[in-house]
Amino acid sequence: MTKRYNVHIYREMRLFFPNIDADTPETAAAIARDKLTDEADSVNDCNGDDFSALVDEVGDEQYERSVMIDFNAEQQHKIVPQLLDALRDLLGDLPSVQGGVCQHCGREYDDIASGDCPSDDCPSYKARAALARAKGGAR
């Protein structure tokens, strides 16, 4: 069911797009997000740090059905699986320490011929720790 929404987009400025017809507040926000600045009914200064939308249903005078949508969180949620895949690809199938030398940080180890680099500031250590946290493990 299509409703009418007033959308306030926050990016480098606050843009107001009234009377957007959409099925959901999220759809209304996406429509407003993709509009050009000169299509806004009004343009005002704001902090410029957020990328979000405040969506009000037209006729809801108490703003009980207003919704705040964080576009940054939405984008981050979409990119996380790609980042995890990239970390796995960068680590590869071989251990980071080969022949006593870490292939990622360059440290030499007399006591490790082959295995994971134990240095907590090594890129491979950090990547393995991030992957472990993503899988629900603590590191």
User: Domain span at residue 97?
Assistant: 92-134
- Across the strands, what pairs with 10? 14, 52
Instruction: State the burial class of residue 27 (Cβ atoms within 10 Å of its Cβ: 0-12, 13-18, 19+).
Output: middle
Cα 32 to the chain's mean position, in Å? Answer: 20
- Across the strands, what pairs with 74? none
- pLDDT averaged over the chain? 89
Are both 7 and 67 inside the same structural domain? yes
How many angstroms separate the CA atoms of 129 and 76, rounded?
A: 19
Are both 61 and 104 inside the same structural domain? no
Is the residue at 81 inside a domain?
no
> Structure pTM?
0.54
How many angstroms separate the CA atoms of 103 and 84, rounded?
A: 20
Are both 97 and 69 inside the same structural domain? no
Is the residue at 85 inside a domain?
no
Radius of gyration of the chain measured on its C-alpha atoms? 24
Helix, strand, coil shares, percent, the chain, to 5? 30, 25, 40
pLDDT tens string 13-33: 899 999 999 999 999 999 999
| pLDDT of res. 137 | 57
